[in-house]
Structure 1
Amino acid sequence: MMKRFTVFIIILLIMSTPRIVTAGGAREGASPERGKYLAGRGIIVPPDEIYIDSYISYIDYHYPKPDFGVGVSLYPGHRRISSGGQEEIIQIGIQGSETSFEDLPPLNLAFVIDISESMGEQDKLDWVKDAFDIFIERIRDIDYISLVVFNDDAEAIFPSTQMRSIQERIMFKDAVHSIIPGGGDNPEAGITLGYKQVEANFRKDYSNRVLLLSDGVIAGTDEISGVFQIVEKFKKMYINLSTIGVGTNYNLELMRSLADKGGGSSRFISSREEMKKTFGSDLDRTFVPTARNLSMKLEFLQDVEILGTWGYGNRIEGNTIHYFLDTLHQRDYETILALIRVLPQSAQDISPKINLARFSLSYTDLNCKIHYPDPYYLKVNFVELESPVTGFSNEMVLQSGTMLHYAQALKKIGELYYSNQTQPALDLTLSIENEIKRARLGLGNKGFDVELEVLDRYIALLAKDLGLSETELKNND
């Protein structure tokens, strides 16, 4: 889903504290985590690995948590809008409900692990083994777990089993720690066998999921088209596929595509600690859905021009944007941004409070019941000004707008760098760094630590390629 947004001046959300990065929406870790990982190794992120929506959704805006189902928050970038017209960002926060882990429906999970030769590099499988030691202590007696490994072929080294006692847990650990990398890769065989394991104990009221864990050094997208057909078929049967990736050569596009087709989430894991967290405290956010088949609609009730949007699958029809999200996980949050231009308003149309937009949605709960919550309205004040209203209304807007510009800049920097335009790439890097520093000042010198670290690494790399001294670099700034 490109997990999504839009650019400009109106935003829908809530948050007045500096961002806290935790695993966000379905793809929040795939692109930003990947960018941080590559920058740390002296690599400019290729432009095709920059998913702008993922960068925006990477931030936890602390949306209000609903008592059940799905919560929605709408917030404008400006509390007042010029009657003469202006650009606005609208931010929409989608928040899943939280249920105690012990009260969640049974898990029915199949882990499909790539054990090809490349997975033996950089301690990748050691990360996996450490994480599963934590995972197996979290699951309950009611949960079903299986473990499939693949290289040239696939094998279920721990068939689907209900974890009723300590003995099953010991057997699972032994199976995990017996894994040795080697051989080629056959992801289709592994994924197919994983689905068979989940099917063995399938029930609609369970959380049924296949999790593919790989470094992505597998066949290209065109060469495994059969896998996409398989995952789409099982998604219709309420068995989703999620992907977790590791390693420098991770095939981001392929793994995201598999998760999209499979109705699951996609994450890139950049460290051993992040892997442990995913299989420990974030277990429910990784595997347990709270809603499926979210169909959403943002309708503008005043004269506007839609300039762009970031948010999952979407389509624009006139003054309406339609969004679709396969799955919203337990405790998870998603963010949509829409960039619009509010057209000039006549004097008779100006009133203290005007409904600028209406947001509606429907979704299916885990009991296959369809819900149609009442629509949400975004109200704004129009004021008689010829010039646009400037300045963001709160810190949240400043954060999301800055992250949007940051992601757009990273994509352009990659395009410039890989087309041998190193000096323009450096100029743009210095420019976005200054913008982020200004935003950080506006947040009380908090936030954007990771982004500034990435840009510092970019500056050092680009300056080295250009042969610039420290003095010459300062003159460029």
Structure 2
Amino acid sequence: MKNFALFLLISLVFPTLIPAREITGVVTDESGAVLPGVNVTVENSPRGTLTDVNGFYKIQLQPEDKVLVFSFIGMDTEKVKIKDQSRIDVVLKVSALEMEECIVVGYGISSERRTKAASQSIRIRGMSTKQCLNFTDTEWDTENYATVHENGFKEVSVNPLSTFSIDVDNASYSNVRRYLNQGQLPPKDAVRVEEMINYFSYDYPEPEGEHPFSVTTELGTCPWNSDNYLMRVGLKGKSIDKSDLPPSNLVFLIDVSGSMTPENKLPLLKKAFALLVNELRQEDRVAIVVYAGAAGKVLDSTPGNKKEKILEALDNLQAGGSTAGGAGLKLAYRIARENFIQDGNNRIILATDGDFNVGVSSTSEMERLVEQERESGIFMSVLGFGMGNIKDDKMETIADKGNGNYSYIDNIQEARKVLVSEFGGTLFTIAKDVKFQLEFNSQQVQQYRLVGYENRLLNDEDFNDDTKDAGEMGAGHTVTALYEIVPAGKKDQKPSVDPLKYSTSVPVSGDYAEELLTIKLRYKDPDGKKSKLLEQAVENKLNTENSVDFNFAASVASFGMWLRDSDYKGTTSADQILKLAKAGRGNDYEGYRSEFVRLVRTVEDLDLLSKK
């Protein structure tokens, strides 16, 4: 009894002497479906976390913590007393509809294709239940995606050149994952196949010699059309150790407008940027600019080792007001120029749902503004947050025209991937205006089709034009492109265009006759004005056995075409995608490829495609 009384006294007077402990668990709905993105907080405390894609959470507790609070939009908040257990699993119930309070779902998705777990909602007072039921989803769905017109087959005798800009964006995959984890199909134009492929890294060799990247090719049988070839072209940027990276001059440009209030927007954004702040060094600097009804600076450019000061400025941000995105961009560029580091990494990181509605707001106006500023040597990264009103088209445009990249953050794990695991590739450019041009040999190739990259196509003459903008390559980054190829001699293949009356084609002879194609690559140094050329021929040599990475890239491409219901999906099926993915899983240290397998199974298990 004396020992117990002593322990009780110590715990009351010196609670910090009792070690913190960890609680884990899974959050589901009443049907047993896991709930990603649930906000798990300690009552009367700012500490908290979000559930991952599997509904799993992990949180550190202090001795004085008594209650965990589980909240999710459209569902009843659950409070659970903390006892001596180390695991707490929670089931959340869908909020009941009341006569004067209506729940309106924030997606344009029909009810038969929506699970309970998918309901992001807002309440409208003064509406009857009948009015509520007649209130359609689409009135609240304002997500925008640029139209994607799929690439078709090109006749080599007429179009021997294929020219495009590289794409290092990967927002499409995490956005598609968000939809599928909620039991919904994504909008067709949200599925950009090349971004899905490039979400994953591939085992390409480190570059050697004068160029900052290596080029790898692989030729195999096309999985969805066995009569054709599939060629993989891979680019690997040189890796740089974090300690050797040049100093950074960063400006966090953060949207704090009213649309950023939900937990998966500004609250998640703060946690994401905190991860990045922890990666900064003394030689790095950070300023913070926010915008809502107007733009303002909340933190002067501050050394990266003053983490508490930076984190405090982040933690104090609150959402409210309209969205003056153009003014925010102008102020961020001005501050970035004032603190410019010669030979350093000068970059604005814009975090928003893309909902600009005050001042410069149209996509074309934002594009011109960013194009004017990029010549100053300041790069742009865009992080998209939230759901229901994502302006994907605007965010992609800003990143592309601002010499940067675009990622979509749907949970804290994705934030860690983008801002910690891929720190160099996301934030440090090793080459800009990187363009591909492939020249196909008509004696070996009858037709070809570039899989994806529809919004990255360039005119053939743009390849040698150094004034034309193209994509940027980050340190350690990989870029992959796939071509479906119809070999020469396929008599049953319908020509894509009529034969030319005035053809000037000359048969290839000598050493070049057996080449399948030639790859040409142009790029500039990060501060360069004149491009450099890299050229590499590809033999017509088919794999007897495809590599692990070839199989996985093909499975992701198949999945993208399957979701889009592509005219070119051929024999694609869930079984075929899963077979390829399993053959391509390899050493999946981070679990991203295994997660992809689960997504494919989700589409198959929920039979989503049959409900389109």
Aligned CA distance change for structure 1 residues 38 and 371 (closer, same or farther; 3 Å): same
Identity over aligned pairs, percent = 21
Aligned CA distance change for structure 1 residues 446 and 433 (closer, same or farther; 3 Å): farther
For 2:175, what is the secondary structure of its paired residue?
A: helix
Alignment of 1:405 onto 2:558: yes
Deviations 1:359-392 (A, max 9, x none): 12232223537563552121124xxxxxxx8976
For 1:256, what is the secondary structure of its paired residue?
A: helix
Match of 1:337 among 482, 488, 502: 482
Alignment of 1:75 onto 2:228: no
Q: Which of the pair has the greater relative contact order for Cα pairs under 8 Å at 6+ separation?
A: 1
Aligned CA distance change for structure 1 residues 404 and 131 (closer, same or farther; 3 Å): closer
Aligned CA distance change for structure 1 residues 178 and 91 (closer, same or farther; 3 Å): same
More moved, 176-185 vs 245-254: 245-254
RMSD of the TM alignment (CA)?
3.9
Q: 5+ unaligned residues in a row in structure 2: which ranges?
A: 1-145, 154-165, 491-507
CA distance in 2 between partners of 1:465 and 1:74 (Å)? 36
Aligned CA distance change for structure 1 residues 204 and 6 (closer, same or farther; 3 Å): farther
Which residue of structure 1 aligns with residue 421 of structure 2? 281
Written as runs of structure 1 = structure 2, the 5 A alignment for 1:357-396 is 357-368=517-528, 372=532, 374-381=534-541, 393-396=546-549
For 1:65, what is the secondary structure of its paired residue?
A: coil
CA contact (8 A) 1:246 1:270 kept: yes
Which residue of structure 1 aligns with residue 394 of structure 2? 254
More moved, 265-274 vs 300-309: 300-309
Alignment of 1:179 onto 2:317: yes
Q: 5+ unaligned residues in a row in structure 1: which ranges?
A: 9-23, 80-84, 382-388, 416-427, 467-477
More moved, 323-332 vs 140-149: 323-332
CA distance in 1 between partners of 2:342 and 2:518 (Å)? 33
Q: How far apart are residue 431 of structure 1 and its match? A: 6.5
Deviations 1:312-350 (A, max 9, x none): 7234759x99997331011111112222222139xx989
Which residue of structure 2 aligns with residue 301 of structure 1? 441
Q: How far apart are residue 464 of structure 1 and its match? A: 12
Written as runs of structure 1 = structure 2, the 5 A alignment for 1:74-473 is 74-77=217-220, 87-163=228-304, 166=305, 168-219=306-357, 223-249=362-388, 250-303=390-443, 304-309=445-450, 310-311=452-453, 313-315=456-458, 325-344=470-489, 354-368=514-528, 372=532, 374-381=534-541, 393-412=546-565, 432-440=573-581, 442-443=583-584, 449-459=594-604, 461=606
Written as runs of structure 1 = structure 2, the 5 A alignment for 1:47-86 is 47-67=188-208, 69-77=212-220
Aligned CA distance change for structure 1 residues 410 and 60 (closer, same or farther; 3 Å): same
Whichever of the two has the greater Rg, that structure is 2
More moved, 194-203 vs 301-310: 301-310
Across the two proteins, how many residue pairs are aligned to each other?
Answer: 417
Q: Which amino acid is the alignment partner of residue 297 of structure 1?
A: Q
For 1:59, what is the secondary structure of its paired residue?
A: coil
CA distance in 2 between partners of 1:191 and 1:141 (Å)? 26
Instruction: From the two aligned structures, give the one with the greater helix fraction.
Output: 1
For 2:287, what is the secondary structure of its paired residue?
A: strand
CA distance in 1 between partners of 2:293 and 2:537 (Å)? 54
CA distance in 1 between partners of 2:311 and 2:335 (Å)? 18
Deviations 1:167-204 (A, max 9, x none): x4322121111111111211111111111110102245
Give the TM-score normalised by structure 2: 0.60
CA distance in 2 between partners of 1:437 and 1:463 (Å)? 16
Q: Which amino acid is the alignment partner of residue 240 of structure 1?
A: F
Q: Which amino acid is the alignment partner of residue 318 of structure 2?
A: I
Deviations 1:291-310 (A, max 9, x none): 11223321123432343213
Aligned CA distance change for structure 1 residues 314 and 431 (closer, same or farther; 3 Å): closer
CA contact (8 A) 1:6 1:336 kept: no
For 1:61, what is the secondary structure of its paired residue?
A: coil
Q: How far apart are residue 459 of structure 1 and its match? A: 4.8
CA distance in 1 between partners of 2:535 and 2:194 (Å)? 24
Which residue of structure 2 aligns with residue 386 of structure 1? none
